[in-house]
């Protein structure tokens, strides 16, 4: 199945900002973190198809996963 992954801010370092991944059925966002070598603590916001997502939810063909790191500032 095909999943589009969008990375933001510091997560784009040494990676493309948008990736098209061919993955097996039942894959989760947590599996994508492992594949892309993104530590769980580096993920502050996870969206699946523009809505709040969870690392353990099963993805479907055509889903869009957006991953944001913690944002600093003040």
| Banded pLDDT at 73 (limits 50, 70, 90) | low
pLDDT, position 42: 95
pTM of the shown model: 0.92
Tell me if the domain spanning 2-68 has CATH number 1.10.730.10.
Answer: no
Positive/negative CA dihedral, 46, 51, 55, 61? negative
Average predicted confidence (pLDDT) for the chain: 95
Domain boundaries, the chain: 2-68
pLDDT, position 74: 58
Kindly state the average pLDDT of the residues 12-31: 95
Percentage of the chain modeled with pLDDT above 70: 97
Kindly state the average pLDDT of the residues 64-70: 97
């Amino acid at each position: 199945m095909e999943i589009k992954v969008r990375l933001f801010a510091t997560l784009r370092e040494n990676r493309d900002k948008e990736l098209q991944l061919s993955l097996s059925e039942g894959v989760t966002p947590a599996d994508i973190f492992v594949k892309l070598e993104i530590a769980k603590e580096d993920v502050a916001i996870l969206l699946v198809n523009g809505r709040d997502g969870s690392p353990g939810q099963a993805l479907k063909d055509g889903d869009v996963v957006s991953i944001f790191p913690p944002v600093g500032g003040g």
